[in-house]
């Protein structure tokens, strides 16, 4: 693996077929099962002010997902770290959205046996991607609770980050049809699960709750759970009925694409506390403060 120069590719870079390339040259075979069957796993880390945040946690989850899906790549964790750093450095990015992806690959012609496919590894870094831009965060996000059911965890393990998003994408159209900004979906029992790229939290009487099953166990979700313990904020990981969101004092979502993001309205109804509510604000401030904690920072050597 050759080295890569700082600012070698303006605006972002990718790692494809063992080498760094500009984003415009990052391509996937039309016949890769990652495209034809959503047979892939991925993870997304962030770089903020020149340092990765909780990169070890993202790498650990990515390699755990590979094992669960019986995939393998020709790189260990240290090499993937180097590749991700290289993507950021090559793009000259100080704030970035950085993805690592493994697809099932292309099996021999006519074969339907996934064991015969050679798994493919890709990585890329883009300028930081917000779930909602800062100005929308200040105003508060309009969340619509779609009654579409998330794929059951008995069918697809949600703790393995995947591209099975059709239910989430169609829920976005439900939100747009009702004047909302984004959406979340429910399970068969009518409990909230997650949204497209984020976990959901509800605050009532200063007690924070978040769904316990049917969700990706996000790194930002984990960060908030840990912060609740550190800040003595009561937390319950349990089923959250969809109806509880409209009645909540506060609602917020968590994502690598923005951290702790306040919700102002649910299904068109304003919550009891203007966004961001006091608990949300406290957790949002603590989340961003953690980016300066050496335990979670991995500086990029530009």
Backbone angles phi and psi of 41, in degrees to 5 = -135, 160
Q: Are residues 152 and 272 in the same domain?
A: yes
What 3-state DSSP class applies to 205? Answer: coil
Q: Are residues 78 and 181 in the same domain?
A: no
Q: Show the domain range for 123.
A: 13-127
pLDDT of residue 138: 84
pLDDT of residue 177: 98
| HSE-CB for 73 with a 13 A CA cutoff | 28
Q: Are residues 204 and 138 in the same domain?
A: yes
Cα–Cα distances in Å, from 151 out to 92, 186, 269? 38, 9, 27
Average pLDDT of every residue of the chain: 96
Confidence band for 198, pLDDT divided at 50, 70 and 90: very high
Q: Provide the whole-model pTM.
A: 0.95
Lookup result for tokens 């169609």: 170
* pLDDT surpasses 80 at 2: no
Q: Are residues 179 and 287 in the same domain?
A: yes
* List of residues 6+ apart from 124 with CB closer than 8 A: 12, 13, 14, 15, 23, 26, 87, 98, 99
Residue 26 Cα to chain centre, angstroms = 21
pLDDT of residue 108: 93
- What does the pLDDT look like over 200-229, one tens digit per residue? 999 999 999 999 999 999 999 999 999 999
Among 298, 294, 257, which Cα is nearest to 80's?
298
3-state helix, strand, coil in the chain (%, to 5): 30, 30, 40
End position of a domain, from candidates 127, 159, 192: 127
Q: Are residues 147 and 251 in the same domain?
A: yes
Q: Is residue 209 one of the residues assigned to a domain?
A: yes
End position of a domain, from candidates 87, 112, 127: 127
Write the CATH number for 152: 3.20.10.10
* pLDDT surpasses 80 at 148: yes
**Crossing angle between the packed helical segments 55-68 and 219-230, to the nearest 10 degrees:** 130
Distance from C-alpha of 179 to C-alpha of 33, rounded to nearest angstrom:
36
- What does the pLDDT look like over 49-71, one tens digit per residue? 999 999 999 999 999 999 999 99
pLDDT of residue 286: 98
End position of a domain, from candidates 106, 127, 148: 127
Contact between 253 and 261 (Cβ < 8 Å): yes
Distance from C-alpha of 296 to C-alpha of 185, rounded to nearest angstrom:
31
Q: Are residues 281 and 153 in the same domain?
A: yes
């Amino acid at each position: 693996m050759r080295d890569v120069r700082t600012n070698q590719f303006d605006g972002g870079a990718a790692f494809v077929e063992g080498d760094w390339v500009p984003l415009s040259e990052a391509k996937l075979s039309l016949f890769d099962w990652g495209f034809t069957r959503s047979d892939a796993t991925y993870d997304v880390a962030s770089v903020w002010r020149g340092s990765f945040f909780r990169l070890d946690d993202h790498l650990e989850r990515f390699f755990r997902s590979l094992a669960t899906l019986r995939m393998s790549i020709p790189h260990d964790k240290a090499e993937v770290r180097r590749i991700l750093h290289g993507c950021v450095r090559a793009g000259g990015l100080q704030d970035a959205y950085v993805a690592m992806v493994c697809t099932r690959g292309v099996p021999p012609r006519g074969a339907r046996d996934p064991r015969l496919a050679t798994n493919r590894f890709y990585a890329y870094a883009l300028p930081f991607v917000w779930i909602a831009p800062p100005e929308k965060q200040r105003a508060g996000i309009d969340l619509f609770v779609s009654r579409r059911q998330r794929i059951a965890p008995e069918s697809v393990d949600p703790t393995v980050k995947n591209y099975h998003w059709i239910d989430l994408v169609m829920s976005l159209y439900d939100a747009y049809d009702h004047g909302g900004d984004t959406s979340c979906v429910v399970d068969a029992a009518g409990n909230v699960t997650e949204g497209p790229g984020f976990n959901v939290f509800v605050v009532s009487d200063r007690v924070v709750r978040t769904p316990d099953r049917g969700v990706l166990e996000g790194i930002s979700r984990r960060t908030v759970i840990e912060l609740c313990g550190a800040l003595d904020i009561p937390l319950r990981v349990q089923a959250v009925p969809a109806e509880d969101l409209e009645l909540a004092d506060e609602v917020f979502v968590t994502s690598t694409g923005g951290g702790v993001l306040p919700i102002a309205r649910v299904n068109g109804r304003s919550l009891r506390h203007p966004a961001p509510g006091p608990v949300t604000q406290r957790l949002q401030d603590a989340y961003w403060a953690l980016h300066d904690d050496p335990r979670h920072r991995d500086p990029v050597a530009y």
